Structure 1
Amino acid sequence: MRTPLRLLHAITGFVGLVIILRFLGHTAYAELYGDAASILAVKSWIVWRLPVLIVALAVAGATGFALAGPSPRGLAARKLARMRVIAVNGILVLVPAAIFLFWKAEAGEFDATFAALQTIEFIAGGVNIVLIGMSFRDGLRLTGRLRRCPDAPARRS
Structure 2
Amino acid sequence: MSKTPIRLTVNGLPHEVAVEPRRTLADALRDDCGLTGTHLGCEHGVCGACTVLLDGEAVRACLHFAVQADSRAIRTVEGLAAPDGTLNPLQRAFWENHGLQCGFCTPGFLMLATWMLEQPGPVDEARLRHVLSSNLCRCTGYQNILTAVRAAAQELGKWAETAPA
TM-score, normalisation: structure 1 = 0.28
Bigger Rg over Cα: 1
- Larger RCO, structure (CA 8 Å, separation 6 or more): 1
Query: In proportion to residue count, which structure has more helix?
Result: 1
Query: In proportion to residue count, which structure has more strand?
Result: 2
TM-score, normalisation: structure 2 = 0.27
